[in-house]
A and B are shown apart, each in its own frame.
Chain A
């Protein structure tokens, strides 16, 4: 699903990614961990085509990122859904409209849009707020809308950049359960987080640790802080 070989990326004059190699198979759940400024967000931006790597080779969902032109971006983003910490929902549109927009851009017929959006809204327990404007929702509800928008299109890969960063622990756990549920259906998930609790809620997930733009072995601190140490050790060689 994701194949990065010796990828480097300079962003704002800083070597944001430095000779990274990462391979993620279809159906995997991967956490990107690391301190602030380690390059997690930059790596995700590379994966959804927002930044072009400077060197190396990179392919996501069969799309060669090194040769990706702006005209090919929509095709990539129809395979790769993104969830952000700050939700990125349209505050002046309803929950239904925010979710439906992802299907509308794909030209899905209206009847199908209605059916699929209602199903996702039900799954994310947003039925009562279907026609509320997003600016009227709580942070947790807005994040669920963002997740619903990414899931409704049944993407091959979901990239999540600190999706629980603005949520309390209960809600964060609930969202992780949602991601896990979609992962069991075969969707590949790569989630950036520096929240140890989040890591512990998905012990089966592989962890990729970034420091100063490079993939490294997790530090002892991370290992001891996470309840998922065994799982992590067993899979760390994948990065």
Chain B
């Protein structure tokens, strides 16, 4: 009898032992779900750190006396630099408006009245026109904006027209794959610092270093965690399958008595284990999907806004593959005398 037929027989024979098979399947599914949940947590922590802190941010200050036409031309060039993920620019007027708004917001306790947002657009320049639009929007009734103290604009009205602030730009970069963050930031710093009219450049070296450290820690923890999960899956699935094989021990004994070769005995049991591992791990992923959807609905609300993502395809595949292999191997070993 060919190996394929033996495997098919092993799968077909699963119906002869419905209760042990069901119990084993539930166990495999639950253990795989436990491992998958651990992976989900690791993955999402890493994603969150990457999303929020793993970008290199440069704040560029031009001289206050710079020609705005030249500066705006530089901004246009900077947008095209490879790796730029986000760019916010501030003309002196826009920066002043932002400063006034910020200072007003910091002034405590006065009866509040709504004013519109003057935050610079992350993709478009907060140019003078933008600032004007902001000023014009003050009267717009459609968007009441945040609640600010009623007296705030009056308190800092004297700042208007002073133009004491320089043009600035805030650039966020995705560090290219394979680049070490710090040398790359050093080179980018030198490049930005060399732009005409640029007076000062600051960047988030410490924050990035912290984020990099976190990511390194997570990546270091990932392998021991994966190893731990794999060990748990192997032990539980292996022992469960061994117990299930007790239900088939008579069959193994009789096959041995009639002269079956080891592979003839083991192949159907191996197929049984493989199917158990595969179905159990796929069911675990289905359960995990429900869990992830529920977690997302619970956590993606103010003030958390945590978007719990599902495992990437390669991790799903790895989980199914590893569980299937372990289950098949355990069944194979369990069939030994």
Contacts and interface: CB of A to CB of B under 8 A. Distances in A.
Interface of A: 48, 70, 73-78, 81-82, 88-90, 92-93, 101-102, 104-107, 149, 153
A75 B259 CA distance: 7
B257 A106 contact: no
B250 interface: yes
Contact of B16 (A70, A73, A92, A105): A92
B254 interface: yes
Interface in B248-292: 250-251, 253-262, 264
A210 B250 CA distance: 29
Interface of B: 1, 16-17, 250-251, 253-262, 264, 337
Contacts of B259: 74-78, 102, 105-106, 153
Contact of A73 (B250, B251, B254, B256): B256
A77 B257 contact: yes
A105 B264 contact: yes
Residue from B1, B253, B260 having most chain A Cβ neighbours under 10 A? B260
Contacts of B261: 74, 105
Contact of B258 (A70, A75, A92, A105): A105
B258 A153 contact: yes
B256 A104 contact: no
Nearest to B251: A90
Contacts of A70: 337
Contacts of A74: 259-262
A70 B251 CA distance: 18
A88 B253 contact: yes
B258 A101 contact: yes
A126 to B, nearest CB: 18
B257 A88 contact: yes
A50 to B, nearest CB: 9
Contacts of B17: 92
B1 A88 contact: no
A101 B254 contact: yes
Given A74-B261, A104-B1, A105-B261, A88 B250 contact: yes
B250 A77 contact: no
A92 B1 CA distance: 21
A151 B255 CA distance: 15
B8 to A, nearest CB: 13
B251 A77 contact: no
Given A88-B250, A90-B251, A92-B16, A107 B256 contact: no
Contact of A107 (B1, B16, B250, B337): B1
